[in-house]
Structure 1
Amino acid sequence: MPRIKSFDENVVLQKAMNLFWKKGFYATSMQDLVTHLQINRASIYDTYGDKMQLFLQAFAHYRKTSLSDLKTFLYSQNSVKEGFKKLFLSIAEEVETDKDSKGCFVVNTTTELTAHDDVIKSIIQDNQRMFISLFLDHLKTGVENGEISPEKDLESLALFLFTLNNGLKVLNRTNTSKKDLRKMVENALTILD
């Protein structure tokens, strides 16, 4: 008779995501996972597979949640320009709220794993395409409502905004001052005028 799992798989996946996010893939050992997730090694392997499979599931969960939250946030704003400004200023605020200096799980994974793993590199590239596509769609809304000039190269702007997004998240890990980050956001977003 198969054993009944005594843990919530989604809760454990969330815990694994937070641990990988904080420590990175290589610095997280199987023993770290056993201790942090409070389930035995066999249960981890039976439910999620090996360490890489667990990492990929946790990473997919993070990316899906982040993209959904970003989409909800941007489309809840009355103004496209103000929406982008609020988004990037909120990232600048994270320099004070991210006490563990975790930064962005995607950015962290990009720097840690893409040079050595083609699967991760492909996932990162797909994530980039999805974010740029979301930014591009939102910029098109700005053109439609008259906030952004139709003469602008929207595809280049979407890539620029994606780069700004990731750059801010990297700078948060270095504890760059909130004041400097806010100035950078203000200056960078003049490109939408």
Structure 2
Amino acid sequence: MPRTKQFDEEEVLKKAMELFWKKGFHATSIQDLVSCLGINRASLYDTFGGKDELFRRAFQEYRNSSGDKVKALLAEGETVKAGFERLFSYAIDQAEENVERKGCFVVNTTAELVPGNTAIQSILCENMEGILSIFSDYIQKGIDHGEISPSKNPKDIAIMLFTFYNGFQVISKIETNRKKLEDLVQTGISVLDD
């Protein structure tokens, strides 16, 4: 008779995501995972196939939730520029609330595992394309509503803001002055102005 799982798989994925996010892939050992997740090695391998697969699934969990969060934050803005201000303000809030200053899991993973891990690189490219699509569609909405000049190319601006957002996530790990970060945001999103 097969044994039933004594743990919530989704909860384990969230814990694994937090651990990988904090320590990185290479610095997280199987023993770290067993200790943090509260499951034994056999269960880890039986359920998740090992460290690599667990990492990919935890990373996918992060991607899903962060993509949804980006859409929601942008939608909170009364204008496109206000939506991007909200997105960056949230990033600042997260940096301030996280005493470990661990930054963005996607940015950290990119820096740690690319080049060299083609499976993760493929996932990161998918993630980038997804966020670029969200940004580009949102900017196009601003053009359609007369908030942004029709001379602007939404795809080019999306790439610039995506690049800026990722760099901003790195800077927010070391810069603790909120005013400086807010000023940096205003400079970055000024690309939306006429």
> One fold, TM greater than 0.5?
yes
Q: Which amino acid aligns with 1:125?
A: C
Number of positions where the alignment pairs a residue of Structure 1 with one of Structure 2? 193
Query: What does 1:59-98 align with in structure 2 at a 5 Å threshold?
Result: 59-98=59-98
Name the residue aligned to 1:188: 188
Unaligned 5+ runs, structure 2? none
Between the aligned partners of 1:89 and 1:10, the Cα distance in structure 2 is: 29
Greater mean alpha carbon deviation, residues 102-111 or residues 84-93: 84-93
Q: Which amino acid aligns with 1:5?
A: K
TM-score by length of 1: 0.96
Query: What does 1:1-193 align with in structure 2 at a 5 Å threshold?
Result: 1-193=1-193
Segments of 4+ in structure 1 off by > 3 A?
none
Q: Report percent identity of matched pairs.
A: 47
* 8 Å CA contact 1:95, 1:177 repeated in 2: no
CA deviation map 1:55-76 (0-9, x unaligned): 0000000001100111122123
Between the aligned partners of 2:79 and 2:144, the Cα distance in structure 1 is: 12
TM-score by length of 2: 0.96
Unaligned 5+ runs, structure 1? none
Q: CA deviation at 1:168?
A: 1.0
Supply the RMSD in Å over aligned alpha carbons.
Answer: 1.1
Q: CA deviation at 1:77?
A: 2.6
Q: Which has the higher contact order (CA 8 A, sep 6+)?
A: 1
Q: Which amino acid aligns with 1:94?
A: Q
Q: Which amino acid aligns with 2:89?
A: L
Q: CA deviation at 1:176?
A: 4.5
Between the aligned partners of 1:177 and 1:183, the Cα distance in structure 2 is: 10
Q: CA deviation at 1:129?
A: 0.7
